[in-house]
């Protein structure tokens, strides 16, 4: 009897060890990171309305060129007018006694340029932004140039920034009598932090009662998922989709004085975006891009074309050495080959094949990208392609 009791105690102890080990494994597994779901942050698929940049543009002069500027007297009279106006503002008179600009006034180290920049959202006075400079006249190169003070205007005609500085990232060109070399574009360049913001665009986040999310790729399903994610995170029904591209969010009382915190929390939420099945085709380069949701109904495909290849291999026929009767002549030898695509076969694609199956079947037929474009158009015309085709 005692022997049976000892065996039972040993089994009980062993069972406790197994349970303890299983519990430890479960605790370790619970602490391991779970596989990431195929989701995107809201900040990567949508923008907050009002948080955006603004385009700026200006007209200016670049000086200090090494004889590669505009030809003032011939093709760029506007450059001459701008230069004369700038010098007069600086107190330098370039006109003669009759008030006309003399013909001898023709410097070759000045070029008219267009200056562009983007004013970021919430840019404050005194902050610096990058500018791009492009030749406007017939200047050959802007290498080594210095941009003079150039006001940058917004769409409303107001000055929001002023640009000035030495050009960088300008391409180079060298030319000789028999060859020329060009690297980059010598008639354009950039100035890092070359403009100073002078006017701010008023926009106060702290006073907002509601915010709107603008989807970069409008979609009904994605808009609804974003709204559901926001409501689930905040635990209240404050968000709703207005249209496929807009989701409205009412600022809750807990975030009335911290709208920036609300937007920060929302943009970090993850949503699985949906999309319309689309096939994008660039016929110029033969590029085809298909979404994963592209499906094909049951369809049979055969691709082939008639190819005629003609090869000319002329041979020279000449008489024997020291012969006085024969003449050297050329004999034509022509080889004509006709390929009717007899090796191509008819391929049947079942209903609902996936993108991978579609690509595998088309590749099995030996079809190139340009022929594949024609096949996709034909499948769409037959009503078997369950996707939208966009031609770039």
Report phi then psi at 381, rounded to 5. Answer: -65, -30
Tokens of 149: 């003070």
Residues with Cβ within 8 Å of residue 239, at least 6 apart in sequence? 226, 227, 230, 231, 247, 248, 249, 250
For the segment 200-226, the average pLDDT, to the nearest whole number, is 88
For the segment 120-132, the average pLDDT, to the nearest whole number, is 93
Q: How many CB atoms lie within 10 A of CB 112?
A: 23
The share of the chain scoring above pLDDT 90, in percent, equals: 33
Instruction: Answer whether residue 127 shows pLDDT above 50.
Output: yes
pLDDT at residue 225, rounded to an integer: 94
> 125 or 368: which carries more pLDDT confidence?
125
> 52 or 359: which carries more pLDDT confidence?
52
pLDDT at residue 208, rounded to an integer: 83
DSSP 267-304: HT-EE------EEEEETTTTEEEE-TT-EE-SEEE---
Closest CA to 280 of 217, 345, 225: 217
For the segment 92-118, the average pLDDT, to the nearest whole number, is 82
Instruction: Answer whether residue 180 shows pLDDT above 90.
Output: no
Give the pLDDT band of residue 288 (cuts 50, 70, 90). Answer: confident
Tokens of 1: 């009897």
- Average pLDDT along the chain: 79
- Pairwise CA distance, residues 11 & 299, whole Å: 65
> 150 or 170: which carries more pLDDT confidence?
150
pLDDT at residue 371, rounded to an integer: 76
Instruction: Answer whether residue 154 shows pLDDT above 60.
Output: yes
Q: Per-residue pLDDT tens for 299-352?
A: 776 666 545 455 657 777 777 776 666 677 777 666 656 555 555 555 555 555
Overall residue count recorded for the chain in this entry: 392
pTM: 0.65
- Pairwise CA distance, residues 246 & 222, whole Å: 10
Q: Which DSSP helix (H) or strand (E) runs through 371?
A: helix 369-381
> 162 or 319: which carries more pLDDT confidence?
162
Q: Using alpha carbons only, give the angle 109, 113, 119 rounded to the nearest 5 degrees.
A: 140
H helices within 200-306, ranges in order? Answer: 220-234, 259-267
Tokens of 5: 């009791």
Q: Per-residue pLDDT tens for 9-56?
A: 554 455 555 444 444 444 334 444 434 446 889 999 999 888 888 999
* Burial tier of 197 (Cβ tally within 10 Å: 0-12, 13-18, 19+): buried
pLDDT at residue 248, rounded to an integer: 94
> 66 or 57: which carries more pLDDT confidence?
57
Give the pLDDT band of residue 286 (cuts 50, 70, 90). Answer: confident
- For the ranges 149-158, 233-242, 309-318, the lowest mean pLDDT is seen at 309-318
């Amino acid at each position: 009897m005692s022997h049976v009791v000892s065996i039972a105690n040993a089994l009980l102890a062993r069972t406790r060890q197994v349970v303890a080990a299983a519990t430890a494994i479960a605790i370790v597994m619970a602490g391991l990171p779970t596989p990431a779901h195929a989701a995107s942050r809201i900040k990567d698929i949508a923008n907050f309305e009002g948080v955006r940049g603004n385009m700026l543009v200006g007209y200016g002069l670049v000086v200090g060129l090494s004889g590669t500027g505009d030809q003032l007297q011939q093709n760029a009279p506007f450059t001459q007018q701008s230069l004369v106006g700038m010098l007069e503002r600086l107190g330098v008179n370039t006109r003669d006694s009759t008030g006309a600009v003399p013909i001898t006034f023709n410097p070759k180290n000045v070029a008219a340029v267009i200056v562009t920049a983007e004013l970021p959202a919430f840019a404050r006075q005194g902050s610096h932004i990058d500018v791009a400079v492009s030749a406007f006249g017939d200047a050959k190169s802007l290498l080594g140039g210095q941009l003079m003070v150039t006001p940058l205007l917004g769409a409303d005609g107001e000055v929001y920034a002023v640009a000035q500085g030495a050009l960088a990232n300008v391409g180079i060109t060298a030319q000789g009598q028999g060859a020329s070399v060009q690297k980059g574009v010598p008639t354009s360049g950039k100035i890092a932090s070359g403009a100073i913001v002078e006017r701010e665009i008023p926009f106060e986040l702290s006073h907002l009662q509601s915010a709107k999310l603008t989807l970069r790729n409008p979609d009904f399903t994605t808009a609804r998922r974003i709204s559901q994610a926001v409501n689930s995170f905040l635990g209240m029904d404050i968000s709703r989709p207005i249209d496929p591209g807009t989701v409205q969010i009412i600022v809750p009382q807990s975030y009335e004085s911290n709208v920036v915190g609300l937007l920060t929390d929302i943009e970090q939420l993850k949503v699985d975006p949906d999309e319309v099945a689309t096939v994008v085709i660039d016929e110029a380069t033969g590029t085809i891009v298909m979404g994963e949701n592209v499906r094909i109904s049951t369809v049979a495909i055969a691709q082939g074309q008639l190819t005629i290849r003609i090869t000319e291999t002329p041979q020279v026929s000449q008489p024997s050495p020291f012969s006085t009767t024969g003449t050297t002549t050329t004999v034509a030898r022509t080889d004509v080959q006709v390929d009717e695509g007899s090796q191509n076969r008819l391929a049947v694609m079942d209903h609902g094949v996936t993108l991978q199956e579609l690509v595998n079947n088309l590749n099995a037929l030996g079809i190139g990208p340009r022929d594949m474009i024609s096949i996709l158009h034909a499948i769409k015309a037959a009503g078997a392609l369950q996707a939208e085709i966009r031609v770039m």
